[in-house]
Amino acid sequence: MPTLRQVRAIAYGALFAASLAAAPPVAEDKVRGLEIATEADRRDQGWGDQRAELEMVLRNRHGQESIRELNNRTLEMADDGDKLLVVFERPRDVNGTAFLTFTHKSGPDDQWLYLPALKRVKRISSSNKSGPFMGSEFSYEDLASQELGKYEYRYLRDETLEGRACFVVERIPVDEKSGYTKQIAWYDQQEYRVEKIEFYDRKGELLKTLKSLRYKQYLDQYWRPEEMFMENHQTGKSTNLVWKHYEFRTGLSERDFDRNSLKRAR
């Protein structure tokens, strides 16, 4: 016959096993989240370089709008994050303003802003990357390519978003200087496109929501949105990015993305 101590040990063991069975499989959710993000990343590799024209619509809390026109050039890097050059063309007061980003797979990204009125290149420090980009609701951090190693992932649930079956995944930034404590991303289950992202500020409160709209496929593989809508829930402001004239494999090289390209970009 078992002793009282043995009975207690058996009882505690049974309770512990039951608690494990009832607890959410956190480790499995993390593995599943990483699997989803990895597949999305894999499907968007190999495009080489990309050009596009953009219309940026800034809208204040009263609905008043201002419009800017710019162009975007991106270079895919095999051993590191992508390189991005954004050049403003209109209106006149921002013409020639240029922004350059070297995204890295790990560690802080390198970012510079060229202001033609001052004829100087300003480096964006890691502590300032959560600031607004040219008065928009996109931060400098948002403009860097979303490299796989920038986050820790956790699968949350399946959910239907506007008729599309999606995986909902929590993304925790690895960088302690990130402007966000977490992001919640909706990945389309068929194409692994990111349809929506919620951004939570350093207090853990919902700050912004990004929706990517009207995707089109290029080169029979790569999906790009025609519009990206970023809404700031705390200020009532929003920014639309309307993408036009995507081109791929246009012959861009690293020379088109050095710091001197900021001043000569037009």
**Which pLDDT belongs to residue 5?**
43
For residues 178 and 173, give the distance between their C-alpha atoms in angstroms, rounded to a whole number: 7
**Position 6 pLDDT exceeds 50:** no
Phi and psi dihedrals of 124, rounded to 5?
Answer: -90, 115
Higher confidence at residue 10 or residue 120?
A: 120
Answer yes or no: is 166 within a domain: yes
**Which pLDDT belongs to residue 258?**
84
Share of the chain above pLDDT 90, in %: 73
**Which pLDDT belongs to residue 7?**
38
Q: Which of 55, 52, 61, 44 is nearest to 233 (CA)?
A: 61
pTM for the model? 0.86
Number of domains in the chain: 1
Answer yes or no: is 104 within a domain: yes
Specify the CATH number for the domain of residue 178. Answer: 2.50.20.10
Arithmetic mean of pLDDT, 226-245: 97
Parent domain of 185: 34-264
Q: What angle do CA 106, 109, 112 make, to 5 degrees?
A: 170
**Position 8 pLDDT exceeds 50:** no
Answer yes or no: is 148 within a domain: yes
Answer yes or no: is 25 within a domain: no
Residues 6+ apart with CB under 8 A from 122: 112, 113, 114, 115
Answer yes or no: is 234 within a domain: yes
Summarised one tens digit per residue, pLDDT across range 175-216 is 988 999 999 999 999 999 999 999 999 999 999 999 999 999
For residues 43 and 38, give the distance between their C-alpha atoms in angstroms, rounded to a whole number: 9
Q: At 119, is the pLDDT very low, low, confident or very high (cuts 50, 70, 90)?
A: confident
Q: At 266, is the pLDDT very low, low, confident or very high (cuts 50, 70, 90)?
A: low
Indicate the average pLDDT of the chain. 89
**Strands (DSSP E) along the chain, which ranges?**
49-59, 65-75, 83-90, 98-102, 110-115, 120-123, 151-161, 164-173, 182-188, 194-200, 206-218, 222-232, 238-248
Summarised one tens digit per residue, pLDDT across range 14-64 is 444 444 454 456 789 999 999 999 999 999 999 999 999 999 999 999 999
